[in-house]
Amino acid sequence: MTTAEDFQNGQILLIDKPLHWTSFQAVNKMKWALKSKLGLKKIKIGHAGTLDPLATGLLLVCTGKFTKRITELQGQAKEYTGTFYIGATTPSYDLETEIDETFPTEHIDDALIHQTVKQFLGEIDQKPPIFSAIKKDGVRLYEHARAGETVEIAFRKTTIHEFEITRIALPEIDFRVVCSKGTYIRSLAFDFGKAMDSGSHLTVLRRTKIGDYDVAKAMDVTLFEDSIAPDQASE
C-alpha cells in the first residue's frame, strides 16, 4: 500500500483523463484526495503534458520529489489515436467551435489518403491552432481568438515518427500517430485535410502512450481517491 511518505518521496501515477475534464482539474482532484485521505498539509504534484478537455487518455502525474522529472517525461514521444472529419473545418480545428467552412470530398479515395500520410512523416513545419494556450505578446492565443483578434502565429518544427490510418469511412478517418513533444494533433487534422484539397477537423482524440507508459495501465481519475488507504498515523 502506498503511504504518505511514498507520495512525498515521489510517485509517477498513470491517470486516464475523462472527456471534458481539464488536466488541471484532474491534478487538483488528486491533490485534494492525497491531502484529505493522508492528512498531508502540503504535497507537490503536477502533470507531464496537458491534454485538451475534449481529449481523453494518458496523463502522467508526478508527486513529491518526482515532480523534478516532469520536464524529462514531457520530452518523451507520445502516441495518439483518434478521428478526423473530412470535408469541413472549424476555427479551433476540433469540436470546441462550430463548422465555419465546408469543402468537396468527391475526389478523395483510399489511395489519396494513404499517399497524403507520407507528406507528414518525419520533421514537419506546423502552425499551432489559434485556440491554444501558447502566449503571444503575453496573452494566450485562445484569448486573442475569443476576442476576435487576428494574430500572426509562427510555424514550429515537430516530428511525426509514425502515422497510420486505421479506418476509412468517409467523412471519417481513424488514425494512430506517434509524435514528438509540442505536436498539435488538431493542427495535423487541419493540415491533412488541406493537403488533400479539402478540409478536416478533429472529432476524437485519445492519448494512449507517453514513452513506455501505456494508458492500458492507467486509472480513471475518479477512482483515485478510493485507491488511497487513510494514513493511520494521522488519525
Give the residue numbers marked as catalytic.
52
Q: Which helix (H) or strand (E) holds 226?
A: helix 224-227
Residues 58 and 106: their CA atoms lie apart, in Å, by 36
Q: CB under 8 Å to 44, separation ≥6 — which residues?
A: 63, 64, 65, 67
155, three cell numbers: 510555424
In terms of Cα–Cα distance, which of 53, 36, 44 is closest to 132?
53
61, three cell numbers: 502525474
SS3 235: coil
Residues 187 and 200: their CA atoms lie apart, in Å, by 10
Q: Name 130's bridge partners.
A: none
**Which residue do the cell numbers 488541471 mark?**
24
Q: CB under 8 Å to 66, separation ≥6 — which residues?
A: 10, 11, 12
Residues 186 and 195: their CA atoms lie apart, in Å, by 14
